[in-house]
C-alpha cells in the first residue's frame, strides 16, 4: 500500500471516527439492512459495546497500515473467535459492503473514487487475512482428526 493510500485511509478514518457511536451505529444499520439474518449473531451482545469494539478494531488496522505484521496475529485471533459467534466466509463480503456504504453515507459526495478504492482494498486485505486464518484452523482441525 503506497503512502498516498495510507494517508487517505487515515484522514478519512479520523473524520469517520470522530462521531464513533454514530458511525458505528450507521455501520450496523447498513449491515442488518443488507442481511437481516445477521441480527441473530448479536442477540446476546450489548450493541454499544460492540460498536466500540468495531471502531477500536478499525483504528488498530488504520493506525498500523505502514507495518501490518503486528496486526495480523490480532486479526487472525479475532477471526477464530468469530467462528464461535457463527460468522461464515460470506459474511465478510456483507461486512465490507456495509462498511463502504456507511462511508459513502457519512461522507456523501466527498467519498470519491480514490477514497472508496482505498477502503475496498484495505478491507479486502483485512478480510482475506481473517478468512485465511479460519481456513487454516479448520484444515488443522481436520488433519488432527
CB atoms within 10 A of CB 59: 14
pLDDT for res 142 = 63
> Residue 132 falls within a domain, yes or no?
no
pLDDT for res 1 = 86
> Residue 91 falls within a domain, yes or no?
yes
DSSP 8-state code for residue 65? T
Phi, psi of 111 (to 5 degrees): -85, 80
Selection from 130, 127, 109, 131 nearest residue 119 by Cα: 127
Tens of pLDDT, residue by residue over 11-34, are: 999 999 998 889 999 999 999 999
> Residue 15 falls within a domain, yes or no?
yes
> Residue 140 falls within a domain, yes or no?
no
pLDDT for res 19 = 86
CATH number (domain holding residue 96): 1.10.490.10
Domain count across the chain: 1
> Residue 71 falls within a domain, yes or no?
no
Task: Return the percentage of the chain with pLDDT > 90, whole number.
Answer: 84
Give residue for cell 487517505. Answer: 8
CA separation for the pair 46, 115 (Å, rounded)? 31
Give residue for cell 488443522. Answer: 140
CB atoms within 10 A of CB 54: 20
Is 70 exceeded by the pLDDT of residue 129?
yes
pLDDT band at 65 (very low <50, low <70, confident <90, very high): very high
Greater confidence (130 vs 84) lies with 130
DSSP 8-state code for residue 37? G
Alpha-carbon dihedral angle through residues 30, 31, 36, 42, given to the nearest 10 degrees: -130
Is 80 exceeded by the pLDDT of residue 2?
yes
pLDDT for res 140 = 81
Domain that holds residue 39: 3-66+84-126
Mean of pLDDT values over 57-67: 95
> Residue 49 falls within a domain, yes or no?
yes
Amino acid at each position: 500500500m503506497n503512502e498516498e493510500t495510507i494517508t487517505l485511509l487515515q484522514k478519512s478514518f479520523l473524520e469517520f471516527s470522530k462521531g464513533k457511536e454514530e458511525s458505528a451505529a450507521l455501520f450496523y444499520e447498513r449491515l442488518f439492512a443488507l442481511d437481516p439474518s445477521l441480527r441473530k449473531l448479536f442477540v446476546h451482545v450489548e450493541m454499544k459495546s460492540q460498536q466500540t469494539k468495531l471502531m477500536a478494531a478499525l483504528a488498530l488496522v488504520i493506525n498500523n497500515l505502514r507495518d501490518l505484521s503486528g496486526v495480523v496475529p490480532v486479526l487472525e485471533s479475532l477471526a477464530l473467535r468469530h467462528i464461535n459467534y457463527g460468522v461464515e466466509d460470506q459474511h465478510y463480503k456483507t461486512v465490507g459492503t456495509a462498511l463502504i456504504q456507511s462511508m459513502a453515507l457519512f461522507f456523501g459526495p466527498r467519498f470519491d473514487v480514490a477514497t472508496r478504492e482505498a477502503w475496498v482494498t484495505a478491507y479486502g486485505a483485512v478480510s482475506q487475512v481473517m478468512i485465511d486464518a479460519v481456513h487454516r484452523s479448520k484444515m488443522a482441525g481436520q488433519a488432527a482428526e
